[in-house]
Each structure stands twice: as structure tokens, then as C-alpha cells.
Structure 1
Amino acid sequence: MFVLGKLSVMGWINIVLVLVLVWLFWGQFYSYILGRRYATQLKNDEFKEGMHKAQVIDVREPEQFKKKHILGARNMPYSQFKIYQNSLRKDMPIYLYDDAKTMAARTAAKLHKKGYSEIYILKAGFDKWDGKLKGTKVK
């Protein structure tokens, strides 16, 4: 078997796999910490209760938003945050959601740095939403 230094090719592949797994885990953990630090996590019922007096923001990409989104939500993709950030009001709560809370948590951190204080994230993410939906594939 071919050996690089004192490790075999399989040894190097294992090291790379472990590093990739650590990197993925760290990304999820970091987003979790951001979400907890800068926003309040809301269960579906709590989100539904307050969303009528808030700015509901879907931070997923436009294609996902068009397929299906929470009724009344605006699309503000995380990838285009700089374009949309000034369209939010500081005197109203902001309710954020995405599929896995990763982008919502990052958006919450950016909003907090811009002076927003009432920031909330849908705890279970959009995949577990049981409220009203709108979109092209909703029946």
C-alpha cells in the first residue's frame, strides 16, 4: 500500500473525514450558540401567537420561499442580507425562520449588532411548522 510519510492513504482519508465531521459539528454548534445568545427561541404555538404583531422573515433562498413559506412572511435571504437589512423596523419584533435555524441564528447575530433587540427564532425550524402556509406546491 502507498504510504505518505508514516501514514497510509487510508489513514489520511480517515483524518480528513474526522476533520470534516468536526467542522460540520462546529458549524451547527456555533449557530446554536448564536441563536441562543441573540434571539429567543419560540415553539410553534408561541411563534403563531406573536407573529401577527411582528415582522416575519424567511431567511431561506427565494426558490425555497416560492415553493412554500409561512403565510404572511417576507423573504429576506441570508445571502442578500445587506440589501434588505434597512427595510426592517427597529420598533417591532422580528420573527426569523429557516429550515435548520443556522441562517436564522446568523441573521439574528447581525441584526443584534445593528441595534435590533426583539429578535425571535422559530425553534423547530420551518420543516416542523404546523401553521398556515402559502406557496406554489401548497394544496
Structure 2
Amino acid sequence: MLTTTANYADLYLFPSKLQIATLTVAYLCVAIFLLFSSSLLILPIALIMCEKLYDEYLNSAIYSYRLQGHFRLSSAGEVYYQQQRGSVSHIRPLTRWLIIFKVEGLSHRWIIVWRDSLSERHYRHLKMFTYLYFSPR
């Protein structure tokens, strides 16, 4: 369901398994660090911090699962996403694995597009589209 013209890119985003895996590894590493770096006297505090960390992990995972749906990006920077309209204030292709859109006027201020959120071909089209229209010259 890809349409790329001179004016817009029209895609459908799926939940990213790579993002969930990255979140899981990151939060797990922090929890292991907290548990192994604390002494027996500070262990209850470390356990409470791990519980809060787990809550934060669940909120992040829920947010990443909600980042799916119809996504249309115009060359003028207008975004249509999940039946809402907004405008792009900043686009940042961080690595070859993800692109981050900062959008104003949507309930999602940040739209994170991972490489596995789209098919390989669609991701390349989106990356080329953002490069052509939004890269500083």
C-alpha cells in the first residue's frame, strides 16, 4: 500500500518487533545493573527501582504498539496519521534502522519508524522521500 509521488508518501505502519526487542534489552540491562551493583542494605531500594523500571518498560511497549496505522507525509511537511493532521517540525534519520519524526498537532508528538515497521521497499522509499524533501541543503 505504498504510493510515492512528487507530493507525498502514503504508507501503513506496523508495530516494530525490533523496537520491542531494543526496549527489552535496554531495560533488562539497567535492571541487572541495579541488582548487581547494590549491596544487601540497598537491595530493597534497588528492587523498588526495578519495579518502577518495569512499569516504565510496559508504558514504552504500549506506546510502541500504538505507533501503527495509516501514515501520509507530504512534501510540505504535513502529516496525516491515525485520522489526525499535524505538521512535521523535525525529521531525523538516526541510523539506517530508524527515522524519528517530531510532529506538532498530533496526540503522538514523536513518530518512530523502524525498519521493520514497513517492508524493505517501503522503508527505502520513505527514507529517500525524507532525504529529498527534508534534508538540509
Greater strand fraction, Structure 1 or Structure 2: 2
Normalising by the residue count of structure 1, what TM-score does the alignment of the two structures yield? 0.31
Higher RCO structure, 1 or 2 (CA under 8 Å, sep 6+):
1
Greater helix fraction, Structure 1 or Structure 2: 1
